Amino acid sequence: MNATRVTCSESTIQRFLEGRLPDAEQLSFEQHLEQCSVCDRRLASISASQDFWIETHRFLGDTRELPDLQSKTFSLDWSSTEDWSNRNAFCEIKLDPSDDPRMLGRIGEYEINSVIGRGGMGVVLRAWDPTLGRTIALKILNPTYAYQPAARQRFAREAKAAAAVVHDNVMPIYGVDSFNGAPYLVMPFVEGKSLQQRIDRDDPLQIDELLNISLQLARGLQAAHAQGVIHRDIKPLNILLPQNGSRVLITDFGLARVAADATLTRSGVIAGTPAYMSPEQARGAGLDPRSDLFSLGCVMFAMATGRPPFCDESAYVVLRRIVDEQPRPLREINSLIPKWFEAIVNKLLAKNREDRFESAEQLGGHLEACIAHLREPNKVSLPQLKRNNRSMSRLWIGIISFCLLVVAVSTFIYRTQNLERQDSNQSHLLWQPDHTDLGRLEQLLNELNEDLEK
């Protein structure tokens, strides 16, 4: 058959593996492997330990796709590896001295009166603007992370975009500047409380109040969306109810992005509860204005029931619920809420954004009609909720998913059984389905489902 004698030795195998054998020997050794299972096994164990083979099978088998490293380039910002020990000194903002003894100090031209609040993102100060002679609020990005050039730039960018949104229901931004490297926003000083504080009060919101606030929020979002600004973090804490008047203000437009940087800097995990996030946000998918609509739905749910639709102690569980679970029916928690209001909230809380209202504008129109109906129930009839066209096709998607499930399960069972019958060479790759596999199956199906819906 072949003339070249092949010796079964470790060093030959080693050299073969490294491609260091002469071509002819290389070829004949390959042929030799056909027959010699001893060399097969030695070759395998020289290439990698048995554990490594098993791990490779397990880890790579767990995924259907390898990560695409080419599309992802990281630019490590080396300029920020400056001497870290100096950074502690900047954890507190050092104010410039003020000539006015009643003031805490000065930031730029502004005389600082008092600290209004501290949030995840920074400090809010009450200040006096001597040039225009008015009281203002300064929101300063926490200097701890103002040191990240990326966060700083993002702050400035988002603030500029948000400043372009001019609407009665959006907190105006007078200016953006920085002080000792810490950027800050200049805003009007508005006395009032947050919607969260209102929700936490004992007396529940009445339906007309509920609708009124919801409508204002929808109109505020509409104005922002028209400017291409997505809020990303609509929640009761970011909604201000001024003391005088019934106007509602949405604050912190687009700053969620910056705040997220901040919390990551501090902890490396998503801080706080993501209770008002949309499913696409929870999944890390791209956002569009309808994500804000989902969050608004959560806010309306919370106004009606006192708590957000998806809650749990663990942020991770909340994220899972947002993506996978339906909330408890609103009227089960508060039976005083009319059915049609529940229907609006449910539509906003649709997992698939195609099934929500098309826009804040459409939602606003619908709420206006509801308010008109509430005022004159006999004259104005209740507006009908339009069913999105796509809804019907979901039945088919369900049927197809079920069929796929059957196929996938059979494949798994088949493969598992098959594995047990592997020849001796491969017996170490024995593999039983366990929880990870089932989880994977579930994920696979979810993804199939999503693909289908696209």
Partner 1 sequence: MAAPETRQSLLLRLHDPRDREAWDQFVDLYQHVVYQMAVRRGMQPADADDLTQQVLMSVSGAITRFEPDNAAARFRTWLQKIARNAIFNAMTRRPRDCAAGGSATLDLLNEQIAPECQSEQLELEYRREVFLVAASKIQSEFQPHTWACFWETVVCNRTVDVVAQELGRNRGSVYTARCRVIARLREVVEQLDQRGEL
At closest approach, how far in Å is the CB of 15 from partner 1? Answer: 13
At closest approach, how far in Å is the CB of 86 from partner 1? Answer: 5
Closer to partner 1 by Cβ: residue 66 or 132: 66
Is there a catalytic annotation at residue 62?
A: no
At closest approach, how far in Å is the CB of 49 from partner 1? Answer: 8
At closest approach, how far in Å is the CB of 407 from partner 1? Answer: 17
77, 202, 233, 288: the catalytic one is 233
- Which residue, 92, 291, 254, is CA-closest to 173? 254
Q: How far is the C-alpha of 391 from the C-alpha of 398, rounded, in Å?
A: 11
Closer to partner 1 by Cβ: residue 226 or 315: 315
Closer to partner 1 by Cβ: residue 243 or 267: 267
At closest approach, how far in Å is the CB of 298 from partner 1? Answer: 18
Closer to partner 1 by Cβ: residue 72 or 379: 72
Residues in the chain: 454
Closer to partner 1 by Cβ: residue 145 or 357: 145
At closest approach, how far in Å is the CB of 56 from partner 1? Answer: 6
Closer to partner 1 by Cβ: residue 42 or 126: 42
Q: How far is the C-alpha of 50 from the C-alpha of 427, rounded, in Å?
A: 11
Could you give the residue numbers annotated as active site? 233
